[in-house]
């Protein structure tokens, strides 16, 4: 059986929390896990689920990308940066 050890709990992004404070939402914290007896590590994304006035799932990945787009919106199937997330939420609120 596979055994995992949690190395780190990933905290929600303060900027995203400030943006979505006016919506109904839930957060699932991300984790960095280590598969015991190996040197493999797995990263679970932090999930922000906005439920009202629209449904939107934003995943935040802890990665160092050149494009600096560490957010993914499931419904749009695209990556975004923080500025683009702000614009999308403002457009959807109107």
Q: How many domains does the chain have?
A: 1
* Rg of the chain taking only CA atoms, in angstroms: 15
pLDDT of residue 79: 93
Give domain status of residue 40, yes or no: no
Predicted TM-score (pTM) of the model is 0.84
State the pLDDT at residue 93: 74
Low-confidence ranges of the chain (pLDDT < 50): none
Is 35 within a domain?
no
> Cα separation of 9 and 92, whole Å?
30
Identify whether 39 is part of a domain. Answer: no
Domain that holds residue 80: 13-29+45-93
Closest CA to 48 of 14, 70, 32, 25: 25
**Exposure letters 16-49 (e unless 16+ CB within 10 A, then b):** beebbeebebebeebbebbeeeeeeeeebbbbbb
Q: What is the pLDDT of residue 50?
A: 94
Q: How many CA atoms lie within 13 A of 6 on its CB side?
A: 7
Examine residue 37 and state whether it is found in any structural domain, yes or no: no
Phi, psi dihedrals of residue 17, rounded to the nearest 5°:
-60, -40
* pLDDT for residue 2: 86
**Residue 58 DSSP SS3:** strand
Q: What is the pLDDT of residue 94?
A: 62
């Amino acid at each position: 059986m596979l055994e995992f050890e949690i190395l780190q709990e990933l905290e929600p992004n303060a900027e995203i929390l400030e943006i979505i404070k006016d919506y109904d939402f839930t957060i699932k914290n991300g984790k960095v896990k280590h598969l015991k007896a190996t040197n493999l590590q797995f990263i679970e994304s932090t999930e922000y689920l906005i439920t009202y006035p629209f449904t939107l799932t934003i995943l935040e990945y802890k990665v160092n990308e050149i494009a600096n787009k560490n957010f993914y919106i499931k419904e749009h199937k695209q990556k975004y940066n923080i500025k683009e997330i702000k614009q999308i939420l403002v457009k959807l609120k109107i």
